[in-house]
Chains A and B, each alone.
Chain A
Amino acid sequence: MTGATVAALLAQGSPLLACAVVLIALRGRPRAAAALGIAGMGVSFAASAYLVAAVAVPGHSFLAQTVFLPVDAAHSLAFGVLLDPLSTTMALVVSGITLAVMAYSTGYMAGDPGYARYFGFLALFAWAMQGLVLSANLLQTLAFWELVGLASFLLIGFWFERPAPAAAARKAFIMTRVGDVGFLLGVLLLLRALGLATIPDVIAAAAPGGALTPRTVSVAAALLLMGVIGKSAQGPLFTWLPDAMEGPTPVSALLHSATMVAAGVYLVARLHPLFMAAPAVMHALLWLALVTALATATMAMVATDIKRVLAYSTISQLGYMLMGLAAGSAAAGFFHLVTHAGFKALLFLSAGIFIHHAHSNEMQEISERAPWSQRAGVIGLVAGSAALAGVIPFAGYFSKEAILGSLGTGASPLVVALAYLGAGLTAYYAFRMVFVTLGGTGARAHGGTDAPTHGGTGERGHGATAGERAMQVTVLLLAVLTLVLGYLGPWLGARLAPGEAAHGPFDVGVGALAALALVAAGIALAWVEFGRRGARRVGFVERMPALARFFGDNWYLDRLYRATVIRWAVALARAAHWNDRTIVDGATDGLADGTIGGGRLLALVQSGYVQVYLTVALGLIAALAYVLGRAGGVP
């Protein structure tokens, strides 16, 4: 085995080992569990860094695979690693963000009774995500895809004793499952057509001269997209993500912004040539992502819970990534994925600092409890929001520019216009969040006194000063990163799309200027409404209560689901229950009763009366004699 293979296995294996040891042996020793978890992630990060250095050469691709369950010549189960710039970069991003989140969690989750379990589950997630990223064939990807879903379920419902997190975990799992049905069907379709095929084989087969017909490619692409829609919370399947904010804030930072939900985007990037061979499907995806991005931006504009704003923002940005990919540029979409991972994790972790301090998720309440005393949090929030809005020179500007640029070349003007509108809305809601959280009376008070009332949806786990320091250091590190990541663009572009013309980080064209102008307008509007002294702190949407209610309730999508799908499912479940009780159990019980009844009937023969015995015996013999007589004797 080569060094690269070893490194790849290490990148997956060390979190797995950490998870196993923590969950089995270290439940009662929280500090040891955290230490082991962080150590495991450290090894994984180092291995991923090595892989990037060794493998991320333009055009380089390395695949190693072994069959571990042979079935027949064409269909067997194989496990392997696929190492190329895309997978290794993603592995580095995943392990890096996980490491940061783990370090942050030592402060945030300190004192929680499930501390060790938490680190075990985080390690489980890391293993699954790394496995997904580095997998060599689609069945393996599918397996890890489901494992990531499991980790998400376990972590959203971490505080399972309360009803809301448990319900949110169920909702997340079931909704992503709905999408996963399509994913499974797509994988099976490709399996049937190609047998045991590695991902590069699949891509080659989807090319115009390859083994798959265009029809098969389109159908497979559409089916795989169902999984992407579920996992990345687009279109009709997005409502689980806002509810998933019931989990601990570091979990939201890791899974539901930076990495897990990005797995769908990663899949599209991974199989980009296959998807590009189905242009109709990509066109549909473009519109779906665009509508999702705009709709969730409107929902972020009226949300009062800081985590919900960030959740809607995540969905919106995922839409942008998918738009970039659908318009034809894998490099742009993936670049935005990387920068988004950085600044969204930063935003969540900063929000976590405020939540931890103010014991509440509501921005209004946070603003009343001396937010400016949390300096690292303030820095993180502002830097992250600037990156999100796309302010130069923060990272988000460059990646968003790349996407808007690719839309400009690959999509209709209407799409482009709406995408720009979305960028403006993004800036507006991001800075609305900043101004509401950091403004208001009592905001500038110093001193870290806790709020007099313990209230709201604040989360548990208040740590010592050392823990708070861990949180602050992590946030500051990530803030620095957001300034740096933007320059990654050309590097990524060279490796992921060698043929495309890369524009440098400071290329300023008409499109870029228009975007910056819209961003400025959004920020200005937010300032006018929320930020300046004497502002009314009411958004223009909130002045229209009906519209505010519509935006605030997931565009009534959950209500629709409750009235239709859920009601039908419950009715079906009731029918199945009735069937089980009445028909299945009834048949079995009826059989038993019939047997008993038959037995009772036959027992009448053993009555003890001579006359009965005589009757039975003679009757049978006579009947036998009659039959034999008719038949002419014994045969």
Chain B
Amino acid sequence: MNWNAFLFGASAALALVGALFAVGLKNIFHNILGFALSLVGVAGLFLTLGSDFLAIVLLLVYVGALGIAMVYAVMLSQPLDTPRTPRSLPKVVGSALLAAVVAMALWLVIRRAHFPPSGGSLEVTPQMTGYRLLSDYVLAFELISILLVIAMMGAVMVARKDRSRSGRAASAAPKASP
């Protein structure tokens, strides 16, 4: 049995099925779970490509961090007993049409593209990646760090309650725009 192909097929199937759950199901938690499932599939695909480090990072960040954050956001935002309005058929049809058109266009581009044959081997280790990050792509590495810090601060500031509106005395912390 061709394990490569089997693994590829299973991971692909998982990814796609999870994606369909993520967008198709009605319950938002089901969507988040489908999202997680799909990412497991994508991680499997990364494994077949030899990027095991990347697969683990994907799972950690997307599923572990982002997925849980989404669950929190769901808890904080919508009351869970609101009545569900039914989907509108024109919207479904329109979206499906758009997705189909984009797919066709992109597939056409892919078919016509010329990919030079593979030169290197499939073997890539985290060492090599780390080395790259700190030598050739150090600027990107630093910038992404800064970006993450800013994102953290920004998220806190955006989600914070507006003090002046609640009427409490001004705190020692400097006034920040909501």
Contacts and interface: CB of A to CB of B under 8 A. Distances in A.
Contacts of A611: 95
Interface string A596-635: 0000000000000001000100110111011001100000
Interface string A87-123: 0000000000000000000000000000000000000
A619 B109 contact: no
Listed from nearest, the 8 A-B pairs whose CB atoms lie closest are A622-B105, A629-B108, A625-B105, A626-B105, A622-B102, A622-B101, A615-B98, A619-B98
B94 A625 contact: no
B98 A625 contact: no
Contact of B104 (A618, A621, A622): A622
Contacts of B101: 619, 622-623, 626
B112 interface: yes
Interface residues of A, number: 11
Interface string B96-139: 00100110111011001000000000000000000000000000
B109 A629 contact: yes
Contacts of A629: 105, 108-109, 112
Contacts of A623: 101, 105
A615 B94 CA distance: 8
Interface string A339-383: 000000000000000000000000000000000000000000000
Nearest to B100: A622
Contacts of B108: 625-626, 629-630
B43 to A, nearest CB: 28
A635 to B, nearest CB: 16
Interface string B55-76: 0000000000000000000000
Interface in A405-430: none
Contacts of A630: 108
A385 B94 CA distance: 99
A558 B10 CA distance: 102
B140 to A, nearest CB: 27
A625 B101 CA distance: 10
B102 A618 contact: yes
A536 B98 CA distance: 106
A619 B101 CA distance: 7
Nearest to B104: A626
Nearest to A625: B105
Nearest to B91: A611
Interface string A499-540: 000000000000000000000000000000000000000000
A604 to B, nearest CB: 12
Contacts of B94: 615
21 contacts: A611-B95, A615-B94, A615-B95, A618-B102, A619-B98, A619-B101, A621-B105, A622-B98, A622-B102, A622-B104, A622-B106, A623-B105, A625-B106, A625-B108, A625-B109, A626-B104, A626-B105, A629-B105, A629-B108, A629-B109, A629-B112
Given A615-B98, A623-B105, A626-B104, 18 more contacts: A615-B94, A615-B95, A618-B98, A618-B102, A619-B98, A619-B101, A619-B102, A622-B101, A622-B102, A622-B104, A622-B105, A623-B101, A625-B105, A625-B108, A626-B101, A626-B105, A629-B108, A629-B109
A514 B146 CA distance: 136
Contacts of A619: 98, 101-102
Contacts of A621: 105
A621 B94 CA distance: 16
A299 B109 CA distance: 98
Nearest to A629: B108
Contacts of A622: 98, 101-102, 104-106
A623 B109 CA distance: 12
A211 B10 CA distance: 106
A629 B110 CA distance: 10
Nearest to A619: B98
Pick the most buried of A615, A623, A625, A629: most chain B CB atoms within 10 A of its CB: A629
Contacts of A618: 98, 102
A305 to B, nearest CB: 82
A268 B19 CA distance: 102
Contacts of A615: 94-95, 98
A205 B46 CA distance: 108
Contacts of B105: 621-623, 625-626, 629
A527 B93 CA distance: 106
Nearest to A633: B112
Contacts of A626: 101, 104-105, 108
Nearest to A624: B105
Nearest to A626: B105
Nearest to A623: B101
B171 to A, nearest CB: 36
A554 B168 CA distance: 107
Nearest to A614: B98
Interface string B132-169: 00000000000000000000000000000000000000
Nearest to A630: B108
A595 to B, nearest CB: 26
A272 B95 CA distance: 90
Nearest to A612: B94
Nearest to A632: B112
Contacts of B102: 618-619, 622
A609 to B, nearest CB: 10
A358 B100 CA distance: 101
Nearest to B95: A615
Contacts of B109: 625, 629
B42 to A, nearest CB: 22
A441 to B, nearest CB: 99
